[in-house]
Amino acid sequence: MADDVHVERLEDFALASIMARSGIHADAIGAAFAGLAPDGPSLAQAGDITLLGIAPGAWLAHAARWTPDWEASLRDRLGGIASVSDQSSSYEIFRLRGPRARRLLQRGVAIDLDPAVFPPGTVAVTAIAHIGVTLWCLDAAPTFHIACFRSHAESFQQWLAMTIESGAHA
């Protein structure tokens, strides 16, 4: 199974929570990013930023690289219509890709990851092996990103290693 699933721990990424102010809807948030913000558990690309719908009026903004002005640039873009909080140092993000990635994740998550139910662009705030995560599917390869609190990353990585080692693809 190890050859069928590639695991990577992302580094130097940027992650921020965005909470819309009272009366502000997803379309206003989307307009600040020159596109549509997801109005539900899905993702939208806005240039080099991915917006993840994680709850009504709440999103995570993800970029591949953190910069010192990350949070300030998001605040400027949103022009006071939302609260922004940099979460980059609070989380670890793992990338799982390959033909068996979906099956491996299904061993620990209590939601249906079948491509007909969880296609590319879908986001879930859930638990994997009792660890709180935000999970999103990027493409049909499949490639998944899994964000968990930094304090739980070691446990999540151990679960991944044990599940891969046990031949979870069977």
Domain limits of the chain?
6-10+90-165, 14-86
pLDDT of 4: 87
Domain at 6-10+90-165: CATH code: 3.30.1360.120
Q: Which of 138, 53, 55, 35 is nearest to 93 (CA)?
A: 138
Residue with tokens 């709180």: 132
Q: Peptide bond preceding 142: is omega within 30 degrees of 0, i.e. cis?
A: yes
Q: Which backbone phi and psi does 73 adopt, to 5 degrees?
A: -65, -35
pLDDT score for 1: 47
> pLDDT by residue (tens digit) across 46-89?
889 999 999 999 999 999 999 999 999 999 999 999 999 999 99
79: alpha, beta or left? (left if phi > 0; alpha if psi -120 to 50): left
Which pLDDT belongs to residue 170? 45
- pLDDT tens, the chain, 170 aa long: 456 899 999 999 999 999 999 999 999 999 998 887 898 999 999 889 999 999 999 999 999 999 999 999 999 999 999 999 999 999 999 999 999 999 999 999 999 999 999 999 999 999 999 999 999 999 999 999 999 999 999 999 999 999 998 874 44
User: Can you give the pLDDT at residue 166?
Assistant: 86
Place of tokens 């986001």: 123
**Structure-block tokens of residue 165:** 């080692």
Q: What is the pLDDT of residue 11?
A: 96
**pLDDT at residue 169 in the model:** 45
Domain 14-86, CATH number (from 3.30.70.1520, 2.40.50.100, 3.50.50.60, 3.40.50.300): 3.30.70.1520
Q: Which amino acid is at 100?
A: R
Q: Please report the pLDDT score of residue 119 as a whole number.
A: 97
pLDDT at 62: 97
Q: How many distinct helices (H) and strands (E) make up the chain? A: 4, 10
